[in-house]
Structure 1
């Protein structure tokens, strides 16, 4: 699954692709026989334990930007590719920044675009407000998610119960809440999707900025999801710094000796606690804000493919 934000040449490069770059991406998918599928198809496959094609691609956009309609939408319609926009209804209501109007959202929905939840106002959802208790936080965030979903339903007739976490930020409490509400949680950490993907933290590969280059993007599209059976120590919210990632996974299609993790440029040699459980810890504390450990290993059976898992950290 891919995440885009702006489609423009006058917006921050880190979160943007130009119209030409987007067209190049879509042409690449077409020329290389990738299956561009709608997000609801993917979610149904995950929920029903149906196989997901290695060459399947899902296209998503975050943040309600108007250029998604004026620039990206005509190009996507030209190719006939389905896609999803994650919007914040409060930002649209209050015209916060260069955002879509409800008329534009409805026009996109009428063309088959899936419209889903990105919180009411693009909040840092894991953060407590000054003096706020965990109980009050829970109530506030629950109301936020449900109100955003209600507004999307009222304006578009759609209610998918998919929440793309603003800034990709989540923690175990938010994941638990999302699951209790019957929602799917979607992050911004990179990674492939497979049968064992956790439905409260579905990954997406960024496709903008430095990642818009087709050589980089093409490689990421040929990745596989590790078969993770237990997330033993993988809460995004950092308590110990540097944090320890500890996962249990099936080791069948890769060699443990070829498994590596990375914290930025630092190579993290995994410690295998048993034949299918590993842990890694960076040598230095993480900087304040968001960061990641990335773990990879080449597939034994699928030439040119490698497994990829990204663990997001919020310090």
Structure 2
């Protein structure tokens, strides 16, 4: 069988179109961001603020295994963000703080059945001293041996912004010593207790040499993000409905720079909060910001030039933790998200 020159041209054009289509599809699915989800307790209804109900967690797992998402180990995501290697769109990581017993008894069997990787950030004192409701080292070793990623969550789980640099370093090093003795390694990824940090805390974490550190401010981790201020979406009974979970798992980054104040441990309350948007998202009139110290809707924002956003809050934050979250509707009805968490001393 012979082909005419026209037939050969048409066949070659068809092959080229297929290759271009596949290349475009692959590029469309590539991303440099991931949503990181955070839990604490499972089925412990007496701890409403940190607990997720089992029925809620089942819904989350069903959502993550419906074929739309790629759930990867947290350490792999951190490595890819650092090297610039692309991630699949809708990449999600599962993290769990503190190492409560319900992780071992409830969450791990459910995640294992669904073949979903996850990280446990271990607060060492609770394990070491056998605090009620915590796992023990034998159970944590069992998780480690099964491939569960273990993260660093200090020794005492204290409010780090209230401690001196020397106290913070000593606390972290004490935990590291126990990790080495009990697990044979020191975790390279850190989570701030309560999500609280300031410039001084970050300086200690950087000095010790952690590869990355996660807070509890809402948002999406992306390749240009400060590795020691990576965000997570916290899930609890009151904020763990399937609607909010889908919003978090589908979130897109709102890429910003020049955030003020630069220190999350507030010296001025309320803060003069502002940031510069570093990508062209088109019309910014849909940008909305919300503050935990104000009810009744979005706070007023001032747009300066094409990309600078400034917010002046009418009231001070109460002592403890305060939050500002900013969102902008993106493609496919997915929300771009940037959040800040502040610590306010009494």
The 3 A distance-change label for structure 1 pair 95 and 142 is same
Contact preservation (8 Å) 1:36, 1:82? yes
User: Of 151, 154, 170, which residue of structure 1 is paired with 2:197?
Assistant: 170
1:65-214 correspondence to structure 2 within 5 Å? 65-128=100-163, 137-183=164-210, 184-214=212-242
| Equivalent position of 1:36 in the other structure | 71
**1:131 is matched with which residue?**
none
Do 1:234 and 1:311's aligned partners in 2 also have CA atoms closer than 8 Å? no
Give the aligned partner of residue 235 of structure 1.
Answer: 263
Structure 2: distance between partners of 1:203 and 1:90: 24
Q: What CA RMSD, in Å, does the superposition of the two structures yield over aligned residues?
A: 1.6
Larger Rg: 2
Q: Which residue does 1:295 correspond to in 2?
A: 326
Cα displacement string for residues 77-114 of structure 1 (whole angstroms, at most 9, x for unaligned residues): 11111100011112211112310100000001111111
CA distance in structure 2 between the aligned counterparts of 1:220 and 1:253, rounded to whole angstroms: 19
1:17 corresponds to 2:52: yes
- TM-score norm. by structure 1 comes to 0.92
Aligned mates of 1:309, 1:246 — CA distance in 2: 12
User: Aligned partners of 1:277, 1:237: CA distance in 2, in Å?
Assistant: 23
- Shift in Å, 1:32: 4.3
> Where in structure 2 are there 5+ consecutive unaligned residues?
1-35
Q: What is the CA–CA distance in structure 2 between the aligned matches of 1:147 and 1:255, rounded to whole Å?
A: 50
Cα distance in 2 for partners of 1:173, 1:223 equals 30
Instruction: Report the TM-score when normalising by structure 2.
Output: 0.84
Q: Mark the CA change 1:254 to 1:291 in structure 2 (over 3 Å): closer, same or farther.
A: farther
Rounded Cα–Cα distance in structure 2 between residues aligned with 1:42 and 1:282:
35
CA separation of 1:310 and 1:220: change in aligned 2, threshold 3 A:
same
Map of 1:133 onto structure 2 = none
Distance 1:203 1:107, change over 3 A: same
Matches of 1:18 and 1:306 in 2, distance apart?
Answer: 25
